[in-house]
Amino acid sequence: MLALACAVALAHGQLYHWKVTLTASPFSLMGVTLAIFLGFRINASYDRYWEGRKLWGTVLVVARNLARQALTQPSRGVDARPFVLGVIAFAASMRNHLRGRERDAGLDGLLPEAVIAQLREGRHAPCLILLWLGEWLAQLRRSGQLTPMLSQHMEATLDELGAALGGCERIASTPLPFTYSVILHRSSYVYCIMLPFGLVDSIGWMMPLVVGFVSYTFFALEALSDEIEEPFGMMPNDLALDAIVSGIEASLREMLGEVPAAAPRPDANFILT
């Protein structure tokens, strides 16, 4: 756009032998309208991003609560380690599900082999892990090692994990309307292409700098909104799900009395860590 603006300045706003008679007045009105639509687009994208982050924050809090309850509430002699590792597996499986990874990626050593084999054959691994965690609680309740009241409370906590999973799936499966994005994209380019012809007569050789700045702002805001619209992807500004899952695993392994692995270093291209 800067190069186009320089060419228009050199030609004094003429297209071959035709003088393009545009002034800055219509661009003021169009610019305000375009900025309003860009602001709506950014707000809508950021709302999706921030809601996804809050849902993963809920997963973190609920996972810690479940681990604490499993380690302290059942009768003595109950080995709660498989349950706590299963909660870690749920977080990892939820990440795999949202990012389209293999269902059993990163689950080695967290679940029994029979459960992992079931996940490979199933379509919705996080729900199968929640089912396995619920069966673990039901077995303790039937054996009298967990009171019905405490079992019901922990089941409600499992429901919170299911609700967080459903909220993330809603965001992932319902993008912003494609037609709205296309219209905004085309309008931004048409506006910036026509802008040099409307400013060349009023500001002369300062016009390329103004056009370059306006174009950079509009295109950058549109690109940012596109990037954070899908918060569970692998773009540089998407949610750092690997770091979140590693944080959940580290805190729960410490509750088990284990030494957690070192926190992973984010990729050099990752911006929001």
List the structure tokens of 218: 């509009």
Supply the pLDDT for residue 273: 41
User: What is the distance between the alpha carbons of residues 242 and 99, in angstroms, rounded to a whole number?
Assistant: 11
Range of the domain at 94: 2-7+22-255
The sign of the dihedral angle between the CA atoms of 212, 217, 222, 227 is positive
Work out how many domains the chain is built from and give that number: 1
pLDDT averaged per 10 residues, the chain (length 273) = 89 73 78 86 91 96 94 87 95 94 89 91 92 94 90 92 95 86 88 87 86 91 87 87 92 88 60 48
Residue 271 lies in a domain: no
Residue 22 CB partners (closer than 8 Å, separation 6+): 13, 194, 197, 198
Residue 38's CB: how many other CB atoms inside 10 A? 18
Residue 180 lies in a domain: yes
User: What is the distance between the alpha carbons of residues 24 and 196, in angstroms, rounded to a whole number?
Assistant: 9
Element (H, E) at 153: helix 148-173
HSE-CB of 35 using CA atoms within 13 angstroms: 9
Supply the pLDDT for residue 270: 54
> CB–CB of 74/146 below 8 Å?
yes
**Alpha carbon 211 to its chain's center:** 33
DSSP characters over 13-82: TEETTEE----SHHHHHHHHHHHHHHHHHHHHHHHHHHHHHHHHHHHHHHHHHHHHHHHHSSPTT---HH
**Cα angle for residues 140, 166, 226 (degrees, 5° grid):** 145
Question: Could you tell me the pTM of the whole model?
Answer: 0.83
DSSP characters over 164-225: HHHHHHHHHH-PPPHHHHHHHHHHHHHHHHHHHHHHHHHHGGGHHHHHHHHHHHHHHHHHHH
Residue 269 lies in a domain: no
Residue 12 lies in a domain: no
Residue 129 lies in a domain: yes
Residue 263 lies in a domain: no
Question: pLDDT, tens digit, for every residue of 119-135?
Answer: 988 889 999 999 999 99
Residue 260 lies in a domain: no
Residue 224 lies in a domain: yes
